[in-house]
């Protein structure tokens, strides 16, 4: 009996490995929408007649765990691009066109799992190119794998500069780096009221937020503001009332928050509880997401947030989306809501690939890498151009505000603003 | 430290201690009577919070009115879980019950994330965030109400345990299971009832927390840990001890939050370890079990 | 655990539990075959980077589970904070490599020694605690250490973490870390076997069965307990150091996460606590189960529910692990599955 059990275990183990290794194609990726099925169907039909050309993009994205919501936006952005480009029979490579396929796994918002999945995408699924996960932590872990196997990764959701300080050759980011996030808000506030004197900054204790905060502090001081409060709260904190009280006792003109959606909501909620009413409330991530309004209702009014991209920007491009407005239409038709910038930048990562592939005229990984390094393209998302480290430092950040009519509008930069920046923040006790 | 921070800190700590006492009391009776560490306590708390959220969002039921509903639902759930699952292995070594309740927590949280998604939600009745000020110090109404409701519930539990026949049966079981059995106490039912009470109290706390703080499926773990620390501080199984432990813990938490905001639980946990080493039966003294 | 419970719990383990009993020849042979398979694995044609990665994780987990077994399995102290030692090993290795500029092996040694030292310093006071109190003290210490590492920016790099250099040559890094992990796990098995044949092993089991009696018999229980704790820290510390260099970064939220503690306990429990091979085999069973759930079954986002359900079933029906069945001490039957419930229900 027992012998059989052990033999069975060993056999099962070996069989499981062999099966997984030999039949890589049998692996079921996380379901990622109907359009891929139809895509691969077409590819198979073509394969029977001629050598089909397809380019497979792989990504590990957080579909569960703490970044599930943001991960969903990322996936939506990737999928929207794939659907649109396949309507035009794919990406032109040299003189033929290659259909695009997407392979997405759920990394559970876990950096370990993210790295493991990217290794699977490269060595088991043999994807052509890699896309990024959500968040600086996961991106940091996965770029190392991409570098190891010399597979390019264009990522759209890891803004920490430390990802790019390691001298990697195969990692590129389409989004503006973290230290730039809050600069737009500072500029805008000073433009509206040059008499603003003091800033308080609260920071989520995480790699991305710390860089955002440091960048904001340096910039504020450069602009002659006094930083009266600068402290961090624990990641996934459930109570920040101590920090709010501390800030309140400094009575700052501007309160800036460096963090993510969930803690931004918490800071707002407890600011109301404790009666913290500065003249400007600005955050790095959060206010631009539909979830923010859903969670706070009327209390979201007046709050401004940094945006990598907004639907109202005035970019014009010859890419498949053309303008931010057209991207917004397509996104709304498919997903029923205004696209958050995470979706746009994710789609932009694929546009960067498309333009690099077109320039290289090939799907060769090294040639495409070189073309990416040389890329200089104006997309619906803004400029796509990378510095030596692979960061896109050429694109400005925008600012959006939650308006009293329940809408979310671009208020900065001035040339793209659709509404006037509502100032000052209406104190809680006057509402 | 600025004086505003200090006075506001005191108010925050007192308000916090009420809710924490409610969280810890349910955990404490389960530990004291059943001798298991119920790691799923925080998960039940989270479900209680979501019941309130959905009743408010879908049917517009005021969160304070949903308190009895969420407690009743979770009472039944707790009874069934104990009667038909945990009772099966209740006397097994520590590791078994520990892992069993932990697995329960994993399942509940995962199902909650699957059905309700992982994002932060808030119960926002019109009066949320309103309050009055004492000088510069803010006292939010909902937190004040939550504080008093917690006290009332804790008091009711105390009365129940001391003056009713069932309450006495529960306490007798905790003190000496064999003697209780000889007295005609039906042990499996009593165990299930105790666990159900603990679960209902957790759900009640969840309801009150959901009015003041944003909720998400993973919110419970932090509360389980806090409940444990409070039980150790206050001594196991005594209701006044738990109340005192909550006050001490709330002050440690609030003021360590002011001085070391980036440390979430480290100070409180190190205090716990110190207390354990110096005085394993807790600062309040006697435990009625062991 | 109260005295009453102890009396009711039957004596469950003997020293030569597991594979060394009964049909040891065949089983040991099979196990050796499996080890040979692991040793040549990287040269097999289907050994992709992904499977090498997965097996490295399994072997590191096995090593930690073997370490946990010293304190949790043999000595019977429910340690729930062993991830602290993993974190100490990772940070010790990372800081030695970046701040002191040492190469990997001396750094690994420093990391592991730091973990052991911490275990001794913490172990002396908290190993006096019993049952739930000991369990929660270990959780508390591990959580607090993680938070301190996460916010002590000037020393640990705080939430930005430590970035380590790549293994050179990078093409062989997969194989290098795989063999390091294999060496560590197999070394752990040998260490277990070695200790069990020494007085230390008897002391551990005597403490588990009845600590007061062990004390009266003249066993230095404090020394034995602290050694068990320190050796489990050694295993976890070495695993942490290897992990840090393998991943090329150290972040508190990664290397101090409580999931690692749970994984090592689950691996030990699945295989069988207080057995030599149990934790090793348990790590494989656990991880392959997880991998199959995540990658090859369409259960998607519900895999944690399935994992939890499996734990519940194991705890209710066979909390001694699968080792009892493998070694032939128990037959798989309805009766043997219900035995646990019959013993422990009310």
Contact residues for A7 (Cβ-Cβ < 8 A; gap 6+) = C30
- Is residue A369 within 8 Å of A152, Cβ to Cβ? yes
Does A75 fall in a domain? Answer: yes
pLDDT of res. A47: 43
Any idea what the CATH number is for the domain that residue A202 is in? 3.40.50.2300
* Mutant choice from B181, B194, B263, B266 vs C, greatest count of C C-beta within 10 A: B266
* B110–C302 C-beta distance less than 8 A: yes
CA distances for A232 relative to A203, B122, B264, C33, angstroms? 4, 23, 11, 53
CA distance B53 to A295: 12
Q: Which of A6-20, A279-293, C41-55, C204-218 has the lowest mean pLDDT?
A: A6-20
A362, A407: one domain: no
* Mutant choice from B81, B82, B88, B117 vs C, greatest count of C C-beta within 10 A: B88
- Is residue A158 within 8 Å of A211, Cβ to Cβ? no
Query: Please, which pLDDT band fits residue B289 given cuts at 50, 70 and 90?
Result: very low
Contact residues for B190 (Cβ-Cβ < 8 A; gap 6+) = B169, B170, B173, B180
Helix, strand, or coil here: A258?
A: strand
* DSSP states along B205-230: HHHHHHHHS-B-TTTHHHHHHHHHHH
CA distances for A220 relative to A85, A410, C117, angstroms? 42, 22, 45
Q: What share of chain A is helix, strand, coil (3-state, %, to 5)?
A: 45, 20, 35
A141, A258: one domain: no
CA distance C21 to A35: 57
pLDDT of res. A396: 86
A299, A213: one domain: yes
pLDDT mean over A10-18: 53
* A66–B118 C-beta distance less than 8 A: yes
Token representation of residue A413: 């930069």
pLDDT of res. B130: 81
Residue A4 sits at the chain C interface (C-beta within 8 Å): no
A88, A141: one domain: yes
Q: What is the largest CA-CA distance in chain B?
A: 61
pLDDT of res. A21: 45
**Closest listed residue to residue C153, CA positions, set A141, A112, B263, B264:** B263
Between residues 389 and 428 of chain A, which touch chain C (CB distance below 8 Å)?
A: none
* B276–C133 C-beta distance less than 8 A: yes
* Mutant choice from B37, B41, B92 vs C, greatest count of C C-beta within 10 A: B92
pLDDT mean over C305-324: 83
Number of domains observed in the structure of chain A: 2
- Is residue A118 within 8 Å of C247, Cβ to Cβ? no
pLDDT of res. A223: 93
A69, A218: one domain: no
Query: Please, which pLDDT band fits residue B281 given cuts at 50, 70 and 90?
Result: low
Q: Express each pLDDT in A376-393 by its tens digit.
A: 999 999 999 999 999 999
Number of domains observed in the structure of chain B: 1
- Per DSSP, helices labelled H in C211-319 are 211-216, 221-247, 252-255, 258-271, 278-291, 303-317
Between residues 221 and 280 of chain A, which touch chain C (CB distance below 8 Å)?
A: 232, 234-235
Q: Which of A411-415, B177-181, C302-306 has the lowest mean pLDDT?
A: C302-306
pLDDT of res. B282: 56
A156, A263: one domain: no
Query: Please, which pLDDT band fits residue A147 given cuts at 50, 70 and 90?
Result: very high
Query: What strands, in cross-sheet order, belong to the sheet with A198-204?
Result: A226-233, A198-204, A254-258, A280-283, A304-307, A398-402, A408-412
Does A156 fall in a domain? Answer: yes
Any idea what the CATH number is for the domain that residue B158 is in? 1.10.3470
Mean pLDDT of chain A: 86
A299, A422: one domain: yes
Query: Please, which pLDDT band fits residue C14 given cuts at 50, 70 and 90?
Result: very low
Q: For A65, which residue in chain B has the nearest alpha carbon? A: B118
List the domain range (segments joined by +) for residue A363.
35-177+315-385
CA distances for A284 relative to A96, C76, C185, angstroms? 43, 49, 45
* B222–A242 C-beta distance less than 8 A: no
Inter-chain CB pairs, A–C, below 8 Å: 123
Chains that touch C (3 or more CB pairs under 8 A): A, B
Strand-pair partners of B131: B140
Q: For B253, which residue in chain A has the nearest alpha carbon? A: A242
pLDDT of res. C8: 40
CA distances for C134 relative to A43, A301, B174, B219, angstroms? 60, 49, 21, 25
Q: Which of A43-52, A227-236, A420-429, C328-337 has the lowest mean pLDDT?
A: A43-52
Q: What does the buried/exposed string (b/e) look like for A95-120 if buried means 16 or more CB atoms within 10 Å of the residue's CB?
A: eeebbbbbbbbbbbbbbbbbbbbbbb
pLDDT of res. A42: 42
CA distance A144 to A163: 9
Contacts of C298 in chain A (CB under 8 A): 28, 31
Query: DSSP secondary-structure letter at C167?
Result: P
Residue B221 sits at the chain A interface (C-beta within 8 Å): no
Instruction: For CA atoms A160, A166, A171, A172, give the dihedral sign.
Output: positive
- Per DSSP, helices labelled H in A50-135 are 68-87, 111-123
pLDDT of res. C297: 64
* DSSP states along B145-167: HHHHHHHHHHHHHHHHHHHSHHH
pLDDT of res. C299: 59
Q: Express each pLDDT in B194-240 by its tens digit.
A: 999 999 999 999 999 998 888 889 889 889 988 988 988 887 768 88
First to last CA, chain A: 75
A66, A172: one domain: yes
Does B247 fall in a domain? Answer: yes
pLDDT mean over C248-252: 90
Segment (H or E) for A130: strand A129-131
Instruction: Tell me: pLDDT of A20 over 80.
Output: no
Query: Least CB-CB distance to C54: which of A7, A105, A116?
Result: A116
Between residues 244 and 273 of chain B, which touch chain A (CB distance below 8 Å)?
A: 254, 257-258, 261-264
The ipTM is 0.86
* C150–A205 C-beta distance less than 8 A: yes
Residue B87 sits at the chain C interface (C-beta within 8 Å): yes
Residue A159 sits at the chain C interface (C-beta within 8 Å): no
A77, A198: one domain: no
pLDDT mean over C58-74: 95
Instruction: Tell me: pLDDT of C270 over 60.
Output: yes
pLDDT mean over B260-282: 80
Helix, strand, or coil here: B15?
A: helix
Does A272 fall in a domain? Answer: yes
CA distance C315 to C184: 29
Token representation of residue C119: 């275990």
Rg (CA), chain C: 20
pLDDT mean over C228-244: 97
Instruction: Tell me: pLDDT of C7 over 60.
Output: no
- Is residue C77 within 8 Å of C225, Cβ to Cβ? yes
Query: Please, which pLDDT band fits residue A29 given cuts at 50, 70 and 90?
Result: very low
Token representation of residue C284: 């494989």
- Is residue C228 within 8 Å of C74, Cβ to Cβ? yes
- Is residue A90 within 8 Å of A97, Cβ to Cβ? yes
List the domain range (segments joined by +) for residue B187.
3-115+141-278
pLDDT mean over B257-265: 81
Does B9 fall in a domain? Answer: yes
* C300–A30 C-beta distance less than 8 A: yes
CA distances for A48 relative to A43, A45, A86, A87, angstroms? 9, 6, 19, 21
A410, A289: one domain: yes
Residue B4 sits at the chain A interface (C-beta within 8 Å): yes
Helix, strand, or coil here: A199?
A: strand
C309/C179: higher pLDDT: C179
Contacts of B187 in chain C (CB under 8 A): 346
CA distance B259 to B253: 10
Residue B42 sits at the chain A interface (C-beta within 8 Å): no
Contacts of B122 in chain A (CB under 8 A): 265, 269, 295-296
**Closest listed residue to residue A328, CA positions, set A318, A317, A313:** A313
B285/A164: higher pLDDT: A164
Q: Which fold has domain C44-288?
A: ABC transporter involved in vitamin B12 uptake, BtuC (1.10.3470)
Helix, strand, or coil here: B247?
A: helix
Does B253 fall in a domain? Answer: yes
Please give the backbone phi and psi of residue A401, each rounded to the nearest 5 degrees, phi first.
-125, 140
Min Cα separation B140/chain C (Å): 30
**Closest listed residue to residue A402, CA positions, set A313, A257, A283, A262:** A283
- Is residue B226 within 8 Å of B20, Cβ to Cβ? yes
B153/B133: higher pLDDT: B153
- The domain segmentation of chain C, as residue ranges, is 44-288
CA distances for A350 relative to A136, A319, A409, B177, angstroms? 19, 11, 26, 67
* C316–B260 C-beta distance less than 8 A: no
Q: For C327, which residue in chain A has the nearest alpha carbon? A: A2
pLDDT of res. A357: 95
Query: Please, which pLDDT band fits residue B257 given cuts at 50, 70 and 90?
Result: confident
Query: Least CB-CB distance to B276: which of C137, C305, C319?
Result: C137
* A119–C49 C-beta distance less than 8 A: yes
Chains that touch B (3 or more CB pairs under 8 A): A, C
pLDDT of res. C344: 83
Instruction: Tell me: pLDDT of B46 over 90.
Output: yes
B290/C139: higher pLDDT: C139
Return the residue matching tokens 């501390």. A246
Token representation of residue A62: 């957080």
Does B233 fall in a domain? Answer: yes
Contacts of B138 in chain A (CB under 8 A): 273-275
Min Cα separation C160/chain A (Å): 4
* A237–B129 C-beta distance less than 8 A: no
Does A8 fall in a domain? Answer: no
Token representation of residue C128: 């006096």
Instruction: Tell me: pLDDT of C293 over 80.
Output: no
A344/C336: higher pLDDT: A344
Between residues 79 and 138 of chain C, which touch chain B (CB distance below 8 Å)?
A: 80, 125-126, 128-129, 131-133, 135-137
* Mutant choice from C49, C150, C270, C286 vs A, greatest count of A C-beta within 10 A: C49
* B191–C308 C-beta distance less than 8 A: no
Q: Express each pLDDT in A69-119 by its tens digit.
A: 889 999 999 999 999 999 999 999 988 899 999 999 988 888 888 998 999
* B104–C308 C-beta distance less than 8 A: yes
pLDDT mean over A354-358: 95
Q: For A231, which residue in chain B has the nearest alpha carbon? A: B261
Does A21 fall in a domain? Answer: no
- Is residue A232 within 8 Å of A185, Cβ to Cβ? no
Query: Least CB-CB distance to C135: which of B94, B266, B290?
Result: B94
């Amino acid at each position: 009996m027992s012998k059989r059990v052990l033999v069975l275990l060993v056999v099962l183990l070996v069989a499981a490995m062999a099966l997984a290794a030999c039949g890589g194609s049998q692996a079921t990726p996380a379901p990622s929408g109907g359009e891929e099925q139809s895509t691969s169907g077409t590819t198979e039909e073509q394969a029977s007649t001629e050598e089909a050309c397809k380019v497979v993009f792989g990504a590990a994205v957080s579909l569960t765990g703490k970044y599930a919501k943001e991960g969903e936006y990322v996936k939506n952005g990737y999928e929207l691009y794939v659907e649109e480009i396949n309507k035009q029979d794919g990406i032109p490579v040299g003189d033929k066109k290659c259909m695009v396929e997407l392979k997405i796994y759920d990394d559970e918002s876990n950096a370990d799992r993210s790295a493991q999945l990217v290794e699977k995408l490269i060595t088991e699924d043999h994807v052509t190119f890699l896309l990024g996960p959500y968040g600086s932590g996961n991106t940091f872990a996965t770029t190392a794998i991409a570098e190891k196997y010399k597979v390019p990764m264009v990522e759209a959701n890891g803004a920490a500069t430390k990802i790019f300080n390691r001298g990697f050759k195969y990692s590129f980011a389409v989004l503006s780096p973290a230290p730039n996030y809050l600069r737009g808000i500072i500029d805008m506030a000073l433009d509206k009221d040059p008499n603003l004197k003091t800033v308080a900054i609260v920071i989520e204790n995480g790699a991305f937020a710390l860089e955002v905060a440091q960048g904001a502090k340096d910039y504020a001081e450069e602009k002659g503001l006094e930083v009266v409060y600068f402290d961090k709260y624990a990641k996934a904190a459930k109570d920040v009332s101590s920090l709010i009280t501390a800030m309140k006792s400094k009575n700052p003109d501007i309160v800036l928050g460096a963090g993510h959606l969930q803690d931004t909501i918490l800071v707002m909620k407890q600011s109301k509880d404790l009666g913290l009413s500065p003249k400007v409330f600005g955050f790095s991530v959060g206010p631009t997401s539909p979830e923010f309004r859903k969670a706070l209702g009327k209390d979201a009014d007046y709050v401004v947030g940094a945006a990598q991209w907004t639907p109202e920007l005035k970019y014009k491009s010859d890419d498949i989306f053309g303008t931010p407005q057209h991207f917004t239409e397509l996104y709304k038709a498919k997903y029923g809501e205004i696209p958050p910038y995470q979706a746009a930048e994710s789609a932009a990562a694929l546009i960067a690939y498309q333009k690099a592939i077109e320039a290289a005229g090939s799907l060769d990984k090294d040639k495409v890498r070189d073309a990416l390094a040389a890329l200089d393209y104006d997309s619906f998302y803004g400029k796509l151009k990378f510095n030596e480290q692979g960061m896109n430092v050429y694109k400005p950040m925008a600012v959006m505000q939650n308006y009293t009519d329940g809408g979310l509008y671009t208020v900065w930069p001035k040339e793209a603003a659709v509404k006037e920046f509502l100032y000052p923040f209406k104190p809680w006790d006057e509402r | 430290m600025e004086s505003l921070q200090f006075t506001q800190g005191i108010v925050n700590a007192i308000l916090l201690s009420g809710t924490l006492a409610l969280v810890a009391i349910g955990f404490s009776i389960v530990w004291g009577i059943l001798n298991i560490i119920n790691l799923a306590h925080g998960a039940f708390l989270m479900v209680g919070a979501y019941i309130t959220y959905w009743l408010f969002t879908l049917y517009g039921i005021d969160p304070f009115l949903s308190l009895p509903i969420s407690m009743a639902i979770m009472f039944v759930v707790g009874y069934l879980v104990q009667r038909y699952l945990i009772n099966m292995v209740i006397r097994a070594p520590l590791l078994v019950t520990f892992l069993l309740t932990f697995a329960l927590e994993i399942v509940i949280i995962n199902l909650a994330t699957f059905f309700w998604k992982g994002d932060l939600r808030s119960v926002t009745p019109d009066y949320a965030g309103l309050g009055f000020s004492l000088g510069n110090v803010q006292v939010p109404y909902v937190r004040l109400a939550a504080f008093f409701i917690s006290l009332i519930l804790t008091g009711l539990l105390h009365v129940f345990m001391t003056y009713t026949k069932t309450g006495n049966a529960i306490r007798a079981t905790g003190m000496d299971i064999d003697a209780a059995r000889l007295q005609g106490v039906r042990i499996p039912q009593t165990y299930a009832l105790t666990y159900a009470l603990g679960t209902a109290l957790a759900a009640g706390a969840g309801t009150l927390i959901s009015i003041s703080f944003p909720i998400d499926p993973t919110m419970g773990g932090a509360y389980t840990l806090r409940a444990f620390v409070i039980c150790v501080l206050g001594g196991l199984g005594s209701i006044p001890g738990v109340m005192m432990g909550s006050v001490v813990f709330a002050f440690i938490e609030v003021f360590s939050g002011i001085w070391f905001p980036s440390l979430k639980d480290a100070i409180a946990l190190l205090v716990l370890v110190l207390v354990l080493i110096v005085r394993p039966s807790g600062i309040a003294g006697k435990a009625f079990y062991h | 655990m109260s005295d009453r419970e102890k009396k009711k719990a039957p004596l469950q383990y003997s020293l030569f539990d597991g594979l060394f009993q009964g049909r040891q020849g065949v089983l040991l042979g099979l196990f050796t075959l499996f080890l040979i398979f692991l040793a040549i694995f990287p040269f097999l044609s289907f050994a992709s980077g992904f499977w090498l990665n997965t097996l490295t994780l399994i072997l590191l987990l096995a090593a930690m589970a073997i370490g946990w077994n010293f304190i949790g399995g043999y000595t019977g102290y429910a340690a729930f904070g062993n991830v602290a030692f993993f974190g100490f090993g990772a940070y010790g290795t990372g800081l030695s490599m970046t701040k002191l500029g040492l190469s990997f092996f001396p750094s690994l040694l420093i990391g592991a020694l730091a973990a052991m030292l911490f275990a001794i310093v913490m172990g002396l006071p908290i190993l006096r605690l019993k049952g739930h109190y000991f369990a929660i003290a270990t959780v508390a210490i591990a959580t607090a250490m993680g938070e301190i590492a996460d916010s002590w920016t000037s020393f640990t790099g705080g939430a930005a973490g430590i970035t380590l250099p790549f293994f050179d040559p990078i093409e062989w890094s997969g194989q290098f870390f795989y063999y390091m992990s294999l060496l560590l796990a197999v070394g752990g098995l040998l260490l277990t076997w070695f200790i069990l044949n020494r007085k230390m092993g008897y002391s551990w089991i005597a403490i588990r069965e009845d600590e007061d009696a062990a004390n009266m018999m003249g066993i230095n229980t404090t020394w034995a307990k602290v050694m068990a704790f320190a050796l489990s820290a050694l295993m976890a510390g070495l695993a942490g150091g290897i992990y840090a260099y393998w991943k090329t970064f150290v972040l508190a939220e990664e290397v101090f996460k409580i999931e690692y503690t749970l994984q090592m306990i689950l691996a030990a429990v699945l295989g069988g606590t207080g057995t030599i091979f149990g934790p090793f085999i348990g790590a494989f069973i656990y991880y392959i189960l997880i991998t199959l759930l995540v990658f090859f079954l369409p259960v998607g986002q519900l895999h944690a529910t399935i994992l939890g359900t499996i734990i519940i079933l194991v705890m209710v029906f066979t909390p001694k692990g699968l080792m009892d069945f493998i070694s032939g001490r128990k037959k798989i039957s309805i009766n043997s599955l219900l035995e646990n419930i019959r013993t422990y229900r009310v």
